[in-house]
Amino acid sequence: MMNSNATNELADSTNYDYTGATIYIVIVLLWYSIGIIFMLGMQMRARSETIEESARRRTKILIRSLRNNSNTKEILGKSNLFAALFRCFFSLVSRRISR
């Protein structure tokens, strides 16, 4: 009885399919590596979209601040113009009064 068990184990070890095992390991490794590469690609694409959105947001903020600065300069320019006109008018009126 012991001899038949040893013979069965020996027969099982000699009938091991090395080719099938190798193919199985290669397929599993390929499957997982493709999954990892796919996930990295998705992460990189999401990150590039985030960077693009951030750049757009910064550009909008820059344009808005430039518009605000130009509007402020226009307003200050107009107020300086009004102040200069007021000073001229006041000096003309004061000259007429002093004559």
Say how far apart CA 18 and CA 30 lie, in whole Å.
Answer: 18
pLDDT at residue 9, rounded to an integer? 62
Q: What pLDDT is recorded for position 56? A: 81
Nearest to 98 by CA among 8, 6, 76, 90: 90
Residue 33: what pLDDT? 96
- Residue 35 Cα distances to 22, 23, 24, 64, angstroms: 20, 18, 17, 43
Q: What pLDDT is recorded for position 76? A: 64
pLDDT tens digits, one per residue of 13-71? 667 889 999 999 999 999 999 999 999 988 888 777 777 787 788 888 877 777 777 76
Query: Distance between CA 95 and CA 93 in Å, rounded?
Result: 5
